[in-house]
Structure 1
Amino acid sequence: MTALLDAHLVAERDGFTLDVRLRIAAGEVVALLGPNGAGKTTALRVLAGLHPLAAGHLTLDGADLDRPDRRVWTPPERRPVGVVFQDYLLFPHLSALDNVAFGPRRRGADKRAARARAKEWLDRVGLGDQARRRPRQLSGGQAQRVALARALAVDPALLLLDEPLAALDARTRLDTRAELQRHLGAHPGATLLVTHDPLDALVLADRLVIVEHGRVVQEGDAATVTARPRTDYVARLVGLNLHRGRADGHAVTVGELTLTTADTVHGEAFVAYPPAAVALHPSRPEGSPRNVWAATVTGVQRHGDNLRVQLTGPVEVAADVTPAAAAHLGLIPGRPVWAAVKAAETRAYPA
């Protein structure tokens, strides 16, 4: 697949170094995920032209937009890039129509043509009847759609979305996510979605790129990333326990604990399993072969209809139990328990 965006982003900001490679094909949506401070916002600012590269390159649709070694740098207003900011940044003194028309006007369209283009896009996002309203008269979901229409009205080769649903309440977010998915599916250019929300990434993106400390730590389609996390952040993101150890066939040694797994691996390896696979017992369980170890409860919190129990011991682990089971076991911080995980519930893979 030919990349519409081909970038090696090397940038310095407040003592932080970003060093990330990104390739996005035409029509592809890539989600950039990572914890706070990982470099997501810096990457977006570099792509938008709001922060210069220190090294590397930024090539879009075959044209260099930023290449320090050749002294090439393209200012933001001349880049074929549309941006939807987290808080939308609509012009408060302009109507929805004129907010959307702003981009085409900046690109040289006359007032009539720009407004016609804006009206077309407001109709596409279902807001044709809100054209005269100003931002303060719009709901959060409507403001988000106006911002999206404004970004798309310039036919961007690259669309950048910065936490586009973060400002919305849960109900509006659900509806707007579905609407956004439809528009992204029709966008012929490349799209980069910057988010910390795994659900937004899994629903909207074709591929995930995970960054930590300014570096890419994992990338791939959702099925690959969620099945085989490679860092604690990714494991938490997809709701799995993750350990790294040394494997010899079906056995993986993690510190002082040896776990039996369903998979055969040799050398450095990861072991992953869901919190629901962890059974807790008041005393060492007998019976079918399983992984068993002594642990201590460090915390209990509600997690959906169940409780998520944090445990310390030879490994740090989370277990999901029913409220009834938690009451029966008397699960409070400091309580000693036995944790058990069946080998069939684990997945091991090379590190």
Structure 2
Amino acid sequence: MSAVLDSHLVVQRGAFRLDIALTIGAGEVVALLGPNGAGKTTALRALAGLLPVDAGQVVLGGQTLDEPSRGVFVPADRRPVGVVFQDYLLFPHLSALDNVAFGPRRHGVGKTAARLRAAALLERVGLIEQARRKPRQLSGGQAQRVALARALAVDPVLLLLDEPLAALDARTRLETRAELHRHLGEQPGATLLVTHDPLDALVLADRLVIIEDGRIVQEGDAATITAQPRTDYVARLVGLNLYRARAHGHTAVLSGGFSLALAEALEGDVFVAFAPTAVALHPRQPEGSPRNTWPATITGIQRHGDNLRVQLAGAVDAAADITPNAAAHLNLMPGQVVWAAVKATETRAYPA
């Protein structure tokens, strides 16, 4: 897949430095994930032309948009880039139709032609009947679709989506996510989705790029990232317990000296991961088949879907998911000491 976007973004803001390379192919949707302060919005603003890079370059469709070493900088309004902002930023005094027609009009398209294009896009996103309504007369999901239509109206080579579903309630978010997935599948250019929501990323994106502290820490397709997280943030994102260890055969020794039995033999520095559902809790040390066991203190209990998530502190800090019935049987409460157990066959180890 040839790269539509080929960029190296270096932005210095006080003590914070963003330094990442981003490439996106034609028709590809890439999700940029990371915790607050990781640099996601800085990257989006740099690509949009709202923030110049201090070093590196932004090349889009073969055209250099930003390269400070050569004195090149194309301003935002001249870039073939469409942006859907988190709060949509629709013009409150314009109808949905005129909001969508605004971009083509700015690019020199006549009023009639711009409105015809806007009407076609509103038809595409299922909102032609709301064409005359102002933003305040639209629901959150409708406003999001108008913002998407407005971004697509300029035939963007690059479409930027900044937390596009964050402002929606849970039900509207579910419906709008499915609609957005369909529209992105029809987008011939490159798409970058900036989000902190792993579900949005997993559903909408072909590839995930995860940044922390202004650096890329992991990238790949969803299956690769969920199977082999490489940082605590990524592990939490995909719902796994993760540890760095030194492996010798079927044994992995953690930094504190605690040993975990592994299903497969490995040598050297490794990551060891297991799901919270793999952690069983017992009132006393269990006997029977070989497994990893350790005493742990309950530090918290929260509802997690249909189960309870129990936070454990001990030789191995971990999260365990158990049923409400199991919790009631064990009479669990914060401060209580229990025994945690994980079968070796439930662990997943891979080179660090």
Pick the TM interval, shorter chain: over 0.9
Q: Deviations over 1:33-60 (max 9, x none)?
A: 0000000000000000011100011110
2: CA distance, partners of 1:51 / 1:266:
46
Tell whether 2:132 aligns with 1:146: no
Q: CA deviation at 1:307?
A: 0.6
Match of 1:332 in 2: 333
Tell me which stretches of 4 or more aligned residues in structure 1 moved more than 2 Å: none
Match of 2:112 in 1: 112
Match of 1:63 in 2: 63
2: CA distance, partners of 1:289 / 1:87:
53
Q: Deviations over 1:75-99 (max 9, x none)?
A: 0000000000000000000000000
What's the secondary structure of 1:98's corresponding residue?
helix
Match of 2:292 in 1: 291
Match of 1:17 in 2: 17
Q: Deviations over 1:165-212 (max 9, x none)?
A: 000011111110010000000000000000011110000000000000
Q: CA deviation at 1:13?
A: 2.2
2: CA distance, partners of 1:302 / 1:178:
27
Q: CA deviation at 1:14?
A: 4.0
What's the secondary structure of 1:168's corresponding residue?
coil
Match of 1:238 in 2: 238
**1:298 alignment partner AA:** T
Equivalences for residues 1-351 of structure 1 within 5 A? 1-254=1-254, 255-351=256-352
1: CA distance, partners of 2:330 / 2:126:
54
1: CA distance, partners of 2:87 / 2:294:
48
Task: Verify the 8 A CA contact 1:263 1:349 in the aligned structure 2.
Answer: no
Deviates more, 1:297-306 or 1:261-270: 261-270
**1:299 alignment partner AA:** G
1: CA distance, partners of 2:243 / 2:25:
34
Unaligned runs of 5+ in 2: none
1: CA distance, partners of 2:106 / 2:15:
35
2: CA distance, partners of 1:305 / 1:80:
46
Task: Verify the 8 A CA contact 1:8 1:21 in the aligned structure 2.
Answer: yes
Aligned positions, number? 351
RMSD value over aligned CA atoms? 0.7
1: CA distance, partners of 2:82 / 2:97:
17
**1:71 alignment partner AA:** G
**1:74 alignment partner AA:** V
Task: Verify the 8 A CA contact 1:3 1:26 in the aligned structure 2.
Answer: yes
1: CA distance, partners of 2:265 / 2:209:
28
1: CA distance, partners of 2:29 / 2:176:
17
Task: Verify the 8 A CA contact 1:263 1:348 in the aligned structure 2.
Answer: yes
2: CA distance, partners of 1:156 / 1:263:
48
Q: Deviations over 1:212-268 (max 9, x none)?
A: 000000000000000000001110110100011101122111122111111222111
- In the superposition, the TM-score normalised over structure 2's length comes to 0.99
Q: Deviations over 1:127-171 (max 9, x none)?
A: 111110000000000000000000001100000000000000111
2: CA distance, partners of 1:40 / 1:120:
32
2: CA distance, partners of 1:116 / 1:15:
48
- In the superposition, the TM-score normalised over structure 1's length comes to 0.99
Unaligned runs of 5+ in 1: none
2: CA distance, partners of 1:113 / 1:150:
15
1: CA distance, partners of 2:161 / 2:249:
44
Percentage of matched positions with identical amino acids: 75
2: CA distance, partners of 1:78 / 1:250:
58
**1:290 alignment partner AA:** R
2: CA distance, partners of 1:16 / 1:51:
15
